[in-house]
Amino acid sequence: MNPYLEALQQKLSPADFKKLSAIDNPVVHEFIAKESDLCHPEKIFICSDSTEDIAHVRKMAVTSGEELATLSMDGHTVHFDGEQDQGRDRVNTKYLIPKGVTFSKALNQIDRQEGLAEVRGLMREIMNGKTMIVRFIALGPTNSAFTLLGIQCTDSWYVAHTEDLLYRPGYEQFVKAGPKSDFLRVIHSAGKLNSDMVSVDYKNKRIYIDHMDNTIYSVNTQYAGNSVGFKKLAFRLAIRKASSEGWLAEHMLLMGIFGPDGKRKSYFAGAFPSACGKTSTAMLPGETILGDDIAYIRDVNSTARAVNVESGIFGIIQDVKAKDDALIWKVITSPGEIIFSNVLIKDGRPYWLGMGEELPKDGQNYTGIWYEGKKDEAGNEIPAANKNARYAVSLKVLENVDPELNNPAGVELAGIMYGGRDAKAYVPVQQSFSWEHGIIAYGASLETETTFATIGKEGMPEINMMSIQDFISIPMGKNVKNNLQFGRKLKKQPTIFGVNYFLREVGNGKYLNTPQDKHVWVKWMELRVHNEAGAIKTPTGYIPIYEDLKKLFKRVLKRDYSKEDYIKQFTIRVPENLAKIERVSRFYQENVTDTPLEMFGMLYMQRQRLIDAQAKYGDYISPECFEKEVNS
């Protein structure tokens, strides 16, 4: 027996000791022993993939009080996060950077030694009297070139339960893998809890990423984006690993889009910052969903193939209505295993903002007993439910889950979309001129506004490169280069599209599209990858022809689409586009030392095309001024 296993034995029941011993990997034992030494739990529970172990976690999440079973629907529970713990915490999420290593200035960082001392200091004996739960997870389908393995030690039964809904079990994979040190490690503690079992020490909340050791530290938080290690935390480590091995780890949805015959299906990936329409795109009715958050993409025989890293959804539950979101509505209003978080509870029912019915005037929410007019410490009115309220469910409960979800070979990507929250510049949908143009002008230039999914002020414009600005763990220019190179090696490149669901009218600021319109855009993209729709070449990309959209609006949404709307939506706004190029170029010049020159060249050419068009047609150019290219 190795010394780590020996040291752990006293904290393990005989059954748990047996489970841990079956993993013939001293590196696993060492990690658990070291974290146990640091955090000092009273007991350690080893969660295998067995139904008994999973059921135990589910039961303990309620017994401990971290989840409440007060909802009347079978299988539904609710968890509350603290008032200061309602989203990902950017300020307190930092990379541990060893001396002598430089990182893009835009990335939040701290000296490794200093950071380790701080976070390990905060974690010392933090689990006194508690149980440390050890979960083993497989990221991506198992038995596949895509699979990555991960371990999380946590003292939160809620976190361990959520992981069960969102990820594929990995204990058996660890048993099979034997002595392999290549796995992601997460150590998490919810820290001090109040009588409602909510983390209270938010001032000492820290999420530190140590890529030297493939380890993430997360402390004094429960919000899943900060605590469920395999979500955005392991993602940061995966981005690094992907970069060194020549594949891509992306913040992307994966979906199947059907062709006009209802049979042809093409797979698309889509990168969108948080709360910018990623999940609702992935869940479009009549199409299929493979994933809504994180994808790994590999070059397999010169084609791009992708898998969903996860197997569940941690979705936003705001503006989810019976009419607009039929698929998920049915799931969250039917019996089945669901964890709601930060909704309002009243008489055994969950309520959320924008659900299409009147909300109760009182109930229980993330601030405890809630009543209309209740104010926070700063005097601001507390909403009935948090804007970033969430539900966690397994994908398998969705009617339209794609049959390839667990295919070890993944699915071949026909297209990739990049979409931000851009009120002013980009048209609702456009196709890039080339792989390089798509990566640079849509992906690397992705701009958005901050949303409620992260703590801080909302509505602030910012660059969110490929929607991974919050997660990028390699120099930013390197990420652009990796993407450029990845596509260049492919024989069959996915077609790249830029989408923008948030364009507003010049002058009055009204949104120019309804949330349903995105269904037309995805159908148009599907036609484009099969050369079944024409396009108009504009300075920023190929845009749809009015007649094609008119037909699609009728077919997909049973709606008329006026020429006037088309012109408003697809007018090329030269001043706004020039300003965008200026902002993007400046951001990279000021914050990124390794931007590939090609990026500036590509943006310069886009600028030139805009200036030439401006000289001919003026500042706001109707799509009809440009040349049509009708495909065969």
Cβ atoms 213, 185 nearer than 8 A: yes
Residue 148 binds which of Mn ion, ligand SPV, none (CB < 5-8 A, kind-dependent) = none
CB-nearest residue to ligand SPV:
225
Tokens of 587: 């951001």
Residue 224 binds which of Mn ion, ligand SPV, none (CB < 5-8 A, kind-dependent) = ligand SPV
Q: By the criterion CB under 6 A, which residues form the site for ligand SPV?
A: 88, 224-225, 231-232, 274, 293, 314, 453
Torsion angle defined by CA atoms of residues 164, 166, 168 and 174, in that order, rounded to the nearest 10 degrees: -60
| Cβ 414 to ligand SPV shortest distance, Å | 24
Q: Which of 331, 272, 244 is nearest to 522 (CA)?
A: 272
Per the listing, tokens 């000296």 go with 111
Residue 225 binds which of ligand SPV, Mn ion, none (CB < 5-8 A, kind-dependent) = ligand SPV
| Cβ 7 to Mn ion shortest distance, Å | 38
Report the residue number, 155 or 310, with the smaller CB distance to ligand SPV.
310
SS3 state of residue 302: coil
Residue 305 binds which of Mn ion, ligand SPV, none (CB < 5-8 A, kind-dependent) = none
| C-alpha span between 255 and 66 (Å, rounded) | 33
470 binds Mn ion (CB under 5 A): no
| Cβ 79 to ligand SPV shortest distance, Å | 13
Amino acid present at 206:
R
| Cβ 182 to ligand SPV shortest distance, Å | 24
Q: Which of 349, 588, 602, 630 is nearest to 475 (CA)?
A: 588
Report the residue number, 287 or 293, with the smaller CB distance to Mn ion.
293
Among positive and negative, which fits the CA dihedral 313, 308, 482, 583? negative
Report the residue number, 96 or 228, with the smaller CB distance to Mn ion.
228
Q: Which of 291, 316, 587 is nearest to 461 (CA)?
A: 587
SS3 state of residue 168: strand
Report the residue number, 224 or 254, with the smaller CB distance to ligand SPV.
224
Backbone angles phi, psi at 548, to 5 degrees: -65, -40
Residue 289 binds which of ligand SPV, Mn ion, none (CB < 5-8 A, kind-dependent) = none
Helix (H) or strand (E) holding 30: helix 26-39
Residue 88 binds which of ligand SPV, Mn ion, none (CB < 5-8 A, kind-dependent) = ligand SPV
Percent of residues in the chain assigned helix, strand, coil, to nearest 5? 35, 25, 40
Q: Choose the stretch contacting Mn ion; rule: CB under 5 A; options: 23-31, 285-293, 352-360, 457-465.
A: 285-293
| Cβ 95 to ligand SPV shortest distance, Å | 17
Those residues whose C-beta lies under 8 Å from the C-beta of residue 94, and which sit 6 or more positions away, are 108, 109, 110, 115, 206, 207, 208, 209
Cβ atoms 501, 433 nearer than 8 A: no
Report the residue number, 293 or 447, with the smaller CB distance to Mn ion.
293
Residue 314 binds which of Mn ion, ligand SPV, none (CB < 5-8 A, kind-dependent) = ligand SPV
| Cβ 228 to Mn ion shortest distance, Å | 11
| C-alpha span between 191 and 187 (Å, rounded) | 12
Report the residue number, 273 or 383, with the smaller CB distance to ligand SPV.
273
293 binds Mn ion (CB under 5 A): yes
Report the residue number, 115 or 225, with the smaller CB distance to ligand SPV.
225
Longest dimension (CA), the chain: 80
| Cβ 148 to Mn ion shortest distance, Å | 18
| Cβ 519 to ligand SPV shortest distance, Å | 22
Report the residue number, 93 or 493, with the smaller CB distance to ligand SPV.
93
Within 10 Å of residue 384's Cβ, how many Cβ atoms?
21
164 binds Mn ion (CB under 5 A): no
Residue 93 binds which of ligand SPV, Mn ion, none (CB < 5-8 A, kind-dependent) = none
| Cβ 332 to ligand SPV shortest distance, Å | 17
CB-nearest residue to Mn ion:
293
Report the residue number, 82 or 225, with the smaller CB distance to ligand SPV.
225
SS3 state of residue 236: helix
Amino acid present at 285:
P
Q: Choose the stretch contacting Mn ion; rule: CB under 5 A; options: 94-102, 289-297, 460-468, 490-498.
A: 289-297
Q: Choose the stretch contacting Mn ion; rule: CB under 5 A; options: 34-42, 267-275, 576-584, 622-630.
A: 267-275
Report the catalytic residues.
276
Backbone angles phi, psi at 613, to 5 degrees: -65, -40
Tokens of 627: 């040349």
Tokens of 30: 């060492």
| C-alpha span between 480 and 444 (Å, rounded) | 7
| C-alpha span between 333 and 355 (Å, rounded) | 12
Residue 395 binds which of ligand SPV, Mn ion, none (CB < 5-8 A, kind-dependent) = none
Sites of contact with Mn ion (CB under 5 A): 274, 293
